[in-house]
Amino acid sequence: PHTALGGKKEGYSESTINGEAWRVLTKWDPRHEFMIQVAEPLAGRERLARHITLKMLLPTLIALPVLALLIWFGVGAGLRPLQQLKQEVKQRTANRLDPLAMVGVPEEVAPLAQALNELFARLQQAFEGERRFTADAAHELRTPLAALKIQAQVALRSTDKAEQNLALENVLHGVDRATRLVEQLLALARVDPETAAINYRQVDLHGLAATVMADLEPLAHAKQIEMTLEEDAACYVLGDNAQLGLLLRNLLDNAIRYTPAGGQVLVSARDANGIVLTVQDTGPGIPQAEREQVLQRFYRIAGSGEDGSGLGLSIVRRIAELHGARLELNGNDNDTGAGLRVSVLWPARQS
């Protein structure tokens, strides 16, 4: 061209030539005598930019839906075992506690399925225990209630005053037995492992034993049984005062109930590398072969001559377990008779 394409300043600039926008590069020689200008229409540059942009975006626009679809299928396939597990658990009834099938369960979901199976097993065991307890309780209550009905019918039909009085005395005796059984059942139901530790405080076993012995003194006095609490250093354990009182009451009640008239009951609490609470008596004792069985619910030794519920020692063991202690039954080691020595032992950390 006969005229300059742009300004004389070196570098890039834009100018309008023949009504069209141009991009101009201006360069000077070292002596600044000659000027060189190169120009390109801006429309061509814009077309090239659009072409490059389209080439870059088109694969991305095509790939994004495909990638999203692949992700959707992948996540769905990964979550499918969880969905199946959810549906199986959701469709179960309250009575269906059999284990979940572990066949085909992915490695990532296996720990969850295993934990659910362990939970189902614990629930199954708890429900079965409750069903057995309810059935046993119903059976044990049915016997004294049937006896009460029979004795009441005898009293109603008899015309002999002495026979009526004997039947009424048997009714009173049956009521006492049923009352004790109900009290033991309620006591066992109150021993709740979920809430037991909430009420734990430092409990003085000596003071608690003295209180329970004072409550049971009339029962011991009626049989001329001497109850003694050994003096020793104070013994404290972390526990529930009411439950430990129930434990002592059951041990002492059993000792008084099965010890012959004129016998002795000795209570002690000492720290011997761990707290040891002991109740021993001069009664007939428990044969070695039956010491584990008497800890089961409703088990009674044949020929004992006493009407009991068979729940006392099972309650004692349950309370001991909840307090981190263990129960031991041994023969008496003194010279006053065969007897029984029941020990509740706390580990050293409870001292």
Order of strands, sheet of 226-229, starting from the edge strand that comes earlier in the sequence: 226-229, 264-271, 275-281, 340-345, 326-331
Q: What is the residue extent of each domain of the chain?
A: 1-91, 110-190, 196-350
C-beta contacts of 180-184 below 8 A and 24+ residues apart: 180/308, 180/309, 181/140, 181/141, 181/144, 181/309, 181/311, 182/141, 184/309, 184/311, 184/312, 184/315
Tens-place pLDDT, residues 176-199: 777 776 776 676 666 655 555 566
Structure tokens at 227: 């109850």
Among 149, 346, 184, which Cα is nearest to 257's? 184
Helix (H, G, I), strand (E, B) or coil at 311: coil
Structure tokens at 325: 């202690």
Helix axes 312-322, 241-258, angle to 10 degrees: 150
What is the rounded CA–CA span in Å between residue 55 and residue 196?
73
**pLDDT over 60 (residue 320):** yes
Tens-place pLDDT, residues 231-282: 877 788 888 887 888 888 888 988 888 888 888 999 998 887 888 999 998 8
**pLDDT over 50 (residue 117):** yes
Domain formed by 110-190, architecture: Orthogonal Bundle (1.10)
Proportion of the chain above pLDDT 70, given as a percent: 83
**pLDDT over 60 (residue 39):** yes
Sign of CA dihedral 285, 290, 292, 297: negative
User: Greater confidence, 93 or 35?
Assistant: 35
Phi then psi dihedrals of residue 159, to 5 deg: -105, -5
Stated as kind and residue range, the H or E segment containing 351 is none
What's the mean pLDDT in 20-25?
85
One-letter amino acid for residue 139 of the chain: H
Tens-place pLDDT, residues 121-170: 888 877 776 776 676 666 556 656 777 788 888 888 888 888 888 888 88
What is the pLDDT confidence band of residue 337, given thresholds at 50, 70 and 90? very low
Helix (H, G, I), strand (E, B) or coil at 238: strand
Residues with Cβ within 8 Å of 144's Cβ and at least 6 positions away in sequence, in order, are: 174, 177, 178, 181
**pLDDT over 70 (residue 335):** no
Is residue 233 a contact partner of residue 276, using CB atoms and an 8 Å limit?
Answer: no
Mean pLDDT of the chain: 79
**pLDDT over 50 (residue 350):** no
Phi then psi dihedrals of residue 200, to 5 deg: -70, 130
Q: 196-350 belongs to which homologous superfamily?
A: Histidine kinase-like ATPase, C-terminal domain (3.30.565.10)
pLDDT at 351: 45
Give whole-number Cα distances, 283 to 152, 195, 298, 337, in Å: 34, 36, 21, 7
pLDDT at 190: 65
pLDDT at 255: 87
pLDDT at 188: 63
Residue with tokens 């809430």: 195
Is residue 85 a contact partner of residue 100, using CB atoms and an 8 Å limit?
Answer: yes
